[in-house]
């Protein structure tokens, strides 16, 4: 029996616990917000302090990258934390992330770091408008971001950015060239301590208001898949990475630019639960527990639809063929990731048909990425 402590007690830790059980891997979770060690399925408090949980764990890992330094350092000092804390820091600080991408020589959007108003002017001169401006720390799902399209917006955007910089220590803004992408895609893969790498089929991702709403495995684009795999390998090697890693890309005329990395299992890989030989949660546990990786082949065309802000869906969803609902057991809140639906089919055309049927069942205001 392996005991894995996950930093973070959300849906990703929950799905790791579910995937670990058949392998006799026991997952417990540390809720960074409440500072409680909890059971990842029931959220029940375990009578363990963080120090005791660290001592009891064989392996420590994370389900998110915005972990306070003190906790990350404490876990790293035990020698049990995987991946290396540098990978978590790269995922949590866009400055470190940009350095990493450039060191690994993978294409990404030109950028400029902004700490002051003069830096903003320098960014506009160096990159031009429009700019996408992102807080270096703490931004996710499109939060902590601004678009600067025209010069008359400079003052108001700068006012908001200055407040953001002042609000927390070591904060800055990363200004990026606006990329007119054709679509957003992501590649999820795993690397273990032996350097073995296995990657999943690329996902095409549709976001609504900065939040992922639909991911579909891309069938039959071997050139794009190869390009993404080469970039994945470069980043994973640069980090000497252990675990599941996600790379998010912009696709422009068949060329990929890395938008960001996530040093963890990723929302755009949830379809692997039904669509791949081994799901991303099991492969993350296999990698961090120093076990051989499971196969990542796509077993059938698959897609995932996020359930945002809703705590129920019509029963008709479950009556659809090859349709699986995964709830996270969370309290309902507007826009919150509450669960997801995985849907599979024998061919990509049938999968589109299934998505259309789902679009007829689910309300368009909550599932805007589905065909309605």
Binding residues for ATP: 94, 134, 139-145, 176-179, 184, 207, 259-260
Residue 65 binds to ligand AMP (criterion: CB under 6 A): no
Q: How far is the CB of 324 from ligand AMP (least distance, A)?
A: 25
Residue 254 binds to ligand AMP (criterion: CB under 6 A): no
117 vs 143 by CB, closer to ligand AMP: 143
CB neighbour list of residue 318: distance below 8 Å, 6 or more residues apart: 325
Tokens in use for 368? 């805007």
Tokens in use for 141? 């799902």
> For residues 338 and 343, what is the distance between their CA atoms, to the nearest angstrom?
17
Residue in the shown chain whose Cβ atom is closest to ligand AMP? 179
CA dihedral 93, 35, 12, 107 (to 10 degrees): 10
Per CB under 6 A, contacts with ligand AMP among 102-141 are 109, 132, 134, 139
Q: How far is the CB of 200 from ligand AMP (least distance, A)?
A: 19
**Residue from 34, 68, 126, 142 that binds ligand AMP (CB under 6 A)?**
142
Residue 184 binds to ligand AMP (criterion: CB under 6 A): yes
80 vs 340 by CB, closer to ligand AMP: 340
Quote the distance between the C-alpha of residue 341 and its chain's center. Answer: 17
Residue 251 binds to ligand AMP (criterion: CB under 6 A): no
Tokens in use for 4? 């894995």
Q: Please report the DSSP string for 145-191 in residue order.
A: EEEE-SGGGHHHHHHHHHHHHHHSTT--EEEEEPP--SEEEEEEEEE
Q: Residues in contact with ligand AMP, total (CB under 6 A)?
A: 14
Residue 95 binds to ligand AMP (criterion: CB under 6 A): no
**CA angle centred on 268, ends 23 and 229, rounded to 5°:** 85
Instruction: Using CB under 6 A, list all residues that contact ligand AMP.
Output: 109, 132, 134, 139, 142, 176, 178-179, 184, 207, 210, 248, 259-260
């Amino acid at each position: 029996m392996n005991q894995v402590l996950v930093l973070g007690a959300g849906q990703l830790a929950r799905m790791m616990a579910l995937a670990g059980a058949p392998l006799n891997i026991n997952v417990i979770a540390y809720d960074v917000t409440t500072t409680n060690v909890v059971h990842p399925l029931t959220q029940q408090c375990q009578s363990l302090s963080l120090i005791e949980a660290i001592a009891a764990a064989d392996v420590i890992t994370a389900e998110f990258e915005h972990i306070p330094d003190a906790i990350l350092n404490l876990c790293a000092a035990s020698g049990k934390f995987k991946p290396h804390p540098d990978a978590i820091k790269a995922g949590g600080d866009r400055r470190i992330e940009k350095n990493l991408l450039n060191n690994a020589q993978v294409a990404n959007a030109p950028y400029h770091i902004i700490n002051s108003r003069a830096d903003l002017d320098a960014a506009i001169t160096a990159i031009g408008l429009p700019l996408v401006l992102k807080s270096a720390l703490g931004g996710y799902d499109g939060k902590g971001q601004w678009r600067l399209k025209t010069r008359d917006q400079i003052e108001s955007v700068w006012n908001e950015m200055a407040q953001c910089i002042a609000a927390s220590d070591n904060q800055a803004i990363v200004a990026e060239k606006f990329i007119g992408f054709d679509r957003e895609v992501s590649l999820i893969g795993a690397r273990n301590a032996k350097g073995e790498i296995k990657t999943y089929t690329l996902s095409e991702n549709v976001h609504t208001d900065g939040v992922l709403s639909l991911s579909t495995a891309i069938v039959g684009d071997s050139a794009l898949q190869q390009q993404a795999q080469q970039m994945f390998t470069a980043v994973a090697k640069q980090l000497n990475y252990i675990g599941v890693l996600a790379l998010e890309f912009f696709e422009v005329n068949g060329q990929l630019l890395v938008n960001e990395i996530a040093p963890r299992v990723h929302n755009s890989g949830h379809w692997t639960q039904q669509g791949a030989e081994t799901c991303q949660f099991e492969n993350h546990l296999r990698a961090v527990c120093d076990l051989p990786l499971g196969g990542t082949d796509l077993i059938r065309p698959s897609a995932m639809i996020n359930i945002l802000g809703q705590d129920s869906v019509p029963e008709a969803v479950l009556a659809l063929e090859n349709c699986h609902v995964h709830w996270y057991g969370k309290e309902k809140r507007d826009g919150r990731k509450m669960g997801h639906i995985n849907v599979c089919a024998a061919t990509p055309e049938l999968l589109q048909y299934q998505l259309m049927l789902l679009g007829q069942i689910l309300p368009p205001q909550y599932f805007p990425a589905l065909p309605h």
